[in-house]
Every structure is written in C-alpha cells, then in structure tokens.
Structure 1
C-alpha cells in the first residue's frame, strides 16, 4: 500500500460526482483508494494486476497536480507513459520570484506551456508550485529540460529553439506523436 497526499481542492476531482471518478480509477488500475478528505491523504492499495497497480499512485498524484482524471488515466494506456513533476518552488527565492517563474513557464496567454505540449507530444499542467508532465520518457525529458532552462533564466527564444529541435528529433525517430487527447489546465500566475 502506498500513501499519496493531494491538495484539498483536488479531492473532489479525485472522487468525482457520486464517487464515479474514484470507482473508474479503482477499476482501471485494479486498486482500492481510501481517501481521507480531511487531510488529503490517499491510501492506494493494489487489489489486482500488480503492474497496473503500480500506476495507481501516479494517477492519484497527477489528478492532485491538476490533470483532469481522463488525462491521468492515460498513464494506463501504455506501459511507456510516465508522470513527472518539476518543483517550481525549489527554483524560486521567494513568493514574488515564484510568481515570476510560473509566469515564465506559462508564457503570455499560456503560449509557452502550449508549445511545450505541442512540440513534445506530452501533456503539461502548471498548478500550485509545480509543473507536471504526462508522456513517454523521451517526451517527459524534453519538457523537463525546457522547464529547467526557463527556471534557470534562459531566454524564451532559446527554449523554443530547443523544443523545435527536439520535436524534429522525435519526429525523425518516429516518437513525436504518442500524444493523447486533452490539454492540461493551468493556473494563472
């Protein structure tokens, strides 16, 4: 059994209307979820296929980090799909710097986040103090690198060039569109 902590405001999304989302996750990932809505703690117990069950905690974490349940469930679509988090807070000196860093990752009218998605094929969500990614290992690596470049102060143009280069590289390798439908949501900086 694994324990995952998610923000209070995401518990309702995890449970869903009448418990529908929770039951869907339990059925698809062959896990049992025990949700403590008081503190946001979720116990994830594998009750079926252990390989599927390993994805259960990541599905819960992904929903907790702002992904829609259907996007988080895409982690089950392919054994190569993975979930990763970039902690914006660790790259920030204070609250104002955190806001500025989030703004750099989101971009004007969300354009930088959109380009990360479009050019990598991954799904990207910026929520709270994190940037979360769902995709193949190659896609996740591209987004993580682009995000770290921005957090380290690289100009947006340099990051966009990097994303274009990686997009073309993934395309040549036949890996560029392993993308699932749906686009990440984002919180305004």
Structure 2
C-alpha cells in the first residue's frame, strides 16, 4: 500500500533529522518506507496498510511540532493523533487565527499545559493547525477542550467540563 502526503517544506528537516536519524527510526518503528521529496511530498509505502496509516500520522505529528519520542507512541494501537485545522473552524481571517492560537496556548504556554495535564495528551500548535496526540478518549477530551476555547468559552468553564469528564471515567 502507498500513501502520499504533503507537509510544509520548512518542516522536511524535522522528518529527516540529523544524518537521517529521525527518518530511519520512523521507518524501523512503523515498518514502512519513507521517500521524502524537496517539495514537501512524502511517499509512505508498506505491505501493511495499518503501518502506512500509523506512519502517516507520525509524520503529520512531527510536521506539526511533536517530538519523535512522542509520535513513536503511535506504534501502540491505543494511541491516536487528531489534527484540528483552525482555518476550518475560524475561517481564513489571519488575525482571528492568531488571536485564538494565543488564547489556546496562553501566557507562557499555561493553558496548553493545563489541557495536556488534565487529558494526558501532547498538544502542538503550528501554523494554522493544532495536533493532539494521546489515547483515544484522552484525545477526544482534549479536542473538546480546544474546540470550546475556539468557540470563545471561558477557561474556567472549559476546565470544569474537563474535570467532569475525567470524573465520569
């Protein structure tokens, strides 16, 4: 099976890594081959479609700012990566996107860190996308919190809803 994805050209170096280290580790861990082109297109091939799917998610995570160690958790079937496109939620207005990115991250990354801690996920904000990696239910809870913030909800409300979801587990 084969899949071709596109990542920002500026992020290709992160996927390759120093001396090709990241690329080799990804290929070894996910059992699939990466062919990386200078224009940002990446071809992922393997006989196993699940390996292609998982490696695609890992590459997307790295392209969005997650570290290699974090995306390697995708080798475990219990983990998933969800990417929220802020332009889909907020429209193409760059000022609105930047304002809500700042709101989502918070001063010194405080809001993002609280969501990560409460949901046991890793979150990266890069460009107009938000990447959330963790176990399925945790990703769903973090995504819900991010969407509430993007809808303009008060942080106190968002954290209270998160706390209630965690109690219900």
TM-score norm. by structure 2 comes to 0.93
Query: CA offsets, 1:70-122, max 9 Å, x none?
Result: 1111111x211001011112232411111111011111221110011000011
Unaligned 5+ runs, structure 2:
none
Partner-residue secondary structure (3-state), 1:83 = strand
TM-score norm. by structure 1 comes to 0.83
How far, CA to CA, are the matches of 2:105 and 2:94 in structure 1? 16
Unaligned 5+ runs, structure 1:
171-189
Verify the 8 A CA contact 1:123 1:135 in the aligned structure 2.
yes
Partner of 1:85: 83
Give runs of ≥4 in structure 1 deviating > 6 Å. Answer: none
Structure with greater proportional helix content: 2
- Aligned CA-pair RMSD: 1.4
Verify the 8 A CA contact 1:149 1:159 in the aligned structure 2.
yes
Query: CA offsets, 1:103-146, max 9 Å, x none?
Result: 11111221110011000011111111111011111011101111
Partner-residue secondary structure (3-state), 1:154 = coil
Q: What is the Cα deviation at residue 50 of structure 1? A: 4.4
Partner of 1:167: 166
Query: CA offsets, 1:132-186, max 9 Å, x none?
Result: 011111011101111111111111110111122223334xxxxxxxxxxxxxxxx
